[in-house]
Amino acid sequence: MFSRVCFLVALAAFLIAFTSRAADRAAAPVTVVLGAQTREIAPLVSELKDKKEHKILGLTFWEGQLGGRCVVISRTASGKINAAVSAALAIDHFHPSEVLVTGAAGSLNLELKPCDVVIAAKTVQHDSVRHHSSGIERRGARNPITGQRNPVFLEAPAKLLDMAKRAAAKTDFIPMSGDDAKSSPSAVRVVTGIVATGDAFVESGEKRKELRSALQADAVEMEGAAVAQVCHQSGVSCLVIRCVSDTADETAMSDFETYAPAASANAARLVYGIIRELAEAGRATSR
């Protein structure tokens, strides 16, 4: 009888402790990281501790601890629709505090060279337009929840921008190398600017000039603003981090193949730094 009572007491203590730990895990803030290509997320996935793999509608999400924070990482594949689907699934299943987008991009700003980094203060879908005989009318996508149109430019939260800037100052980036580096500074330049998103790989000098003139955008890619739209409609913070892999002109594809590995690594390094900043802010709040 005594042993049975002891067993029940021990079992009750175990269940209470287990429930408490489960509640702590459930309450822990989560950061979602999305990248279109495997090489854009691989450096982060490889660093995950206590890694678990989830399959949701066939898509893979890796969950674990990174830099002292609970993080979920997924590869979206290229394009706005793919990115929006991944973002919506991640938000619905993991309830993140913020979503970070990482990866390479083409430069629209002539001052930015391969391996330079753009922190997106704003994102815009450059192909969300109406074509009139007199020109183009830019407009945000309609929010299916409210029926209202989203802003043309979606702004990143000041808190995440500040964290990204602090993290950038501490990050060891990979500089541009090779013969092309002789005509440009070896140090990686980090700017806060505008990232334009569209369902097209831009490799046209004319299109580059058009996007730069019309939007004052610094970089162009295929996922960021779509993720930002889903986050905006879901009330979740979002920040897009891009590293230049090409100059969005006629040599863009060959330049992309050359510089995408370093660009992907640089963006991932900054994202890792932001995650550390988030973890530190969380610890400071709990003290």
Q: Indicate which residues carry an active-site annotation.
A: 40, 246
For the beta carbon of residue 55, count every other beta carbon within 10 angstroms.
Answer: 8
Angle at 9 between CA 7 and CA 10, to 5 degrees: 65
Pairing of strands 153-155, 117-125: antiparallel
- Phi, psi angles (nearest 5°) of residue 213: -70, -45
Give the separation between CA 170 and CA 63, rounded to whole angstroms.
25
